[in-house]
Structure formats: structure tokens, C-alpha cells
Structure 1
Amino acid sequence: MLAEVDSPEESAALADWLADAGLEADDVVPAARTVLLDGVDPGRAMALLETWPGGSAVRARRTVDIPVSYDGPDLPLVARRWEVSVDEVVRRHTSLTFTSAFCGFAPGFAYLAGLPEAWWLPRLADPRPRVPAGSVAIAGEWCGVYPTASPGGWLLLGTTDVALWDAASAEPALLAPGTQVRFVSA
């Protein structure tokens, strides 16, 4: 079953609310503007969804600080588009607290919400064939960290050595939905 909402914040809030409401499900997966309800009784799920009060408040889980070497090849481009210095790009990025809205694209890749709308920038017109693992990047309304090397079109701000995915862990994704994330200049 797929529930549609208006924003990533509402998606995360609905997923939290469903967990608190005791929905019996194999999995509840928030995304950008939907929540997947896997293994649910459709009638019970619909009845429960009809009682959701709405909103976008998300239960904060934990805060993760990620050290970043701000050495990304797109830093000068971001500075030009924001009409600031490279140092100011770093200051702005490290001043924010992001929230993991949902995971996707690759195991451990979290879409981090919290970039002010005035700072949103489009993806590259021509994606790179290979973005190194640990690359910290922005695109549109999102910030993210590439957990593995892969193609990608986001603007690269820097790199980190933090492991984002550990399949052997009880919670494999370091930045599971609801995690607060701060970037720290290394």
C-alpha cells in the first residue's frame, strides 16, 4: 500500500505516527512524497490512515556529526551561484542541521533535508560517470553523502571517511530516517 503526502517532512512524520499508532506491518518506508506500507491489512491501514492528524513534526532519533574535508571540485561553482566565497559556502553548510528524510538510490544513501530554499541548486547537466565514496554533495533541496562509488550528478562539496552502510549492523544505515546530521569541517 502506498500513502501519498505533500512533502518529505510529512512522509517522515506519517511513518513515525504509524509506528507510534501500532500499525502491524512488515515494513514502513518513507520516501520523498510517499510512505510504503508493506505487509499490512489494507482495510486496517486505511482506517488508521484516516485518523492521521497530519503535520510534519518528526521524532528526532540521534544526531550524527560527520567530519568533512571541504575539497570538492564543485565548491567554486557553488560559491559563484550563491554569490559568496568558498569559505562562506563551508560556513553555511556547517551551520545547518539536516534531517534524514528517507534512504534510497544506494544502500546507506540518505536524502538529507534542511537546505534553505534560497540555496537550492540544480544537479549537473552531465552527471559524472564516477563519484567517489564518501563524497558530500548537494542537489536541489537535498544534501547527501555517497556511501559507495557510483555515477552521480550532484554538486560535490567535500569528502568524508565515515562509513554510511554496515550490512552486519542491527541498523545498517548510519543515517536512517529521522537522524539529525551535522557536517563538521575536518
Structure 2
Amino acid sequence: MRILRVGVHAVLLELADGDEVDAWRAELLRRRAVGELRAIEIVPGARTILLDGVTDVATTATLVGGWGPPPAAGPATGDLIRIPVEYDGEDLADVAAAWGTDEAGVIERLSATELRVAFCGFSPGWGYLTGLPPELAMPRLDTPRQRVPAGSVALGGEYVGIYPTASPGGWRLIGRTDVTLFDVTADPPALLTPGKRVRLVAVAATRDEPVPLEAAR
């Protein structure tokens, strides 16, 4: 682990991989809960954790550096968020070919896999979902699409993601959902936050009305 100062009120932990991020995130949350760590925000990334809003950067860096490796993070707990997905994405056939199966096989594998939000980024409400084995990682498109519709479910590298709003994007589109992923009037505004458990549930047809954020919580 490498610890860096970021500005006047933040510390960045550079870690080896996503598993180490999960372990340190759980440990930091635990220590903050018992008063051993003072930080306003604990923000995980793919290979980093940012501790923001610390009062004394040097002391915090020394403190964290002296704790030693935390135990591996256990299975995710808490409520399971079910996202209804219509699997009709234009890249579904390509994903099936890469996985050595048919489209039904892709749907079955994704529906049977419990995912977890590893971290958030890219756009408000976007959660990077982990849980698929490394051999199912999908390369991003060589040329990103100029516009991907909101609610598109996609694969990019080792992650599954859902576009909260329409935007450019280079991930492999496999389906779509009507669930609202980001609502500024909700608390919290984002449905998918680090540590949440997620299940993609296959549905046969598109809903007539969008599914409100509250219904999916």
C-alpha cells in the first residue's frame, strides 16, 4: 500500500487490486464507526481509496499506515437490489460468442450472479459492478458510440454497468432497464452505492412506465 497526500484535507491509499480495496474499505468504515478514524468521506476506486475531509493529513497517513493489512472482506450483506433487465442489447450476440455460449446462456449466467457495487464514477449514479469471473471480461469497443440510451446495461472489462443517463460510451450493450439510478430528490440520490448487492433479473418485455428509484431499493 502507498499513502499519498491529496490537497490539504485528503489522503489517498493506492492498493494492489479490487480485493484489497474491498478489505480496506470495510476496515476503514469499521474504524471510523468506533472513532479511530476521522474522515468525512471514504471513497473507493478501482485500485484506490480516498479519505476526504480529514483534519490532519500527516497524522491520518501515519495512523492508517501503521494498522497493517486488514482481513479479507467477507460476503456483502444488506438489502439486495433487483434490477429488471430486458436483454435485447445490440452487443449481446458478440458477448455470447466471446463467452462460448448462446444469448440464453449469457442471460442465465448474469441472472444467476450476485453482483456488488465496487465503486462509483464516470457519471452520477454509475456503479461499477463486480462479481463475474475474470475470464468473462469483455473488451470495450474500439470506437465508442456517440450516444448510449439511459438504462442501457453493459459490460466493460471486468465490470457490469448501467448508464444512468444518455451519454457517449464504449461498453458492450446487452440489455436495458427502466429503473431510475440517480434522483437528486432522493436520499441518497444514487441507487447504487459502494458495497450494495445487485441482481439483474431478466424480464420479457419493456415496462410501460419507468420504475421509480424507491421501488428498486
Measure, in 2, the Cα distance between the counterparts of 1:169 and 1:56: 32
- Partner-residue secondary structure (3-state), 2:116: strand
Partner of 1:65: 82
1:57 is matched by which residue type in structure 2? Answer: A
Contact 1:117 1:141 in 2 (8 A): yes
Whether 1:36 aligns to 2:50 is: yes
Partner of 1:18: 28
Contact 1:12 1:102 in 2 (8 A): no
2:90 is matched by which residue type in structure 1? Answer: P
Contact 2:91 2:172 in 1 (8 A): yes
1:148 is matched by which residue type in structure 2? Answer: T
Deviations 1:2-45, CA, capped at 9 Å, x for gaps: 00111223223322211210221121100000001112122332
Backbone CA RMSD of aligned residues: 1.4
Measure, in 2, the Cα distance between the counterparts of 1:55 and 1:75: 38
Partner of 1:170: 187
Whether 1:180 aligns to 2:197 is: yes
Partner of 2:63: 48
Larger CA deviation: 28-37 vs 50-59: 50-59
Measure, in 2, the Cα distance between the counterparts of 1:118 and 1:140: 10
1:121-140 alignment, distance < 5 Å: 121-140=138-157
2:77 is matched by which residue type in structure 1? Answer: A
Cα deviation, residue 46, structure 1:
2.1
1:92 is matched by which residue type in structure 2? Answer: R
| Structure whose alpha-carbon radius of gyration is higher | 2
TM-score by length of 1: 0.94
Q: Which has the higher contact order (CA 8 A, sep 6+)?
A: 1
Measure, in 2, the Cα distance between the counterparts of 1:149 and 1:100: 20
2:142 is matched by which residue type in structure 1? Answer: A
Partner of 1:154: 171
Contact 2:27 2:70 in 1 (8 A): no
Measure, in 2, the Cα distance between the counterparts of 1:160 and 1:71: 10
Cα deviation, residue 47, structure 1:
3.4
Partner of 1:105: 122
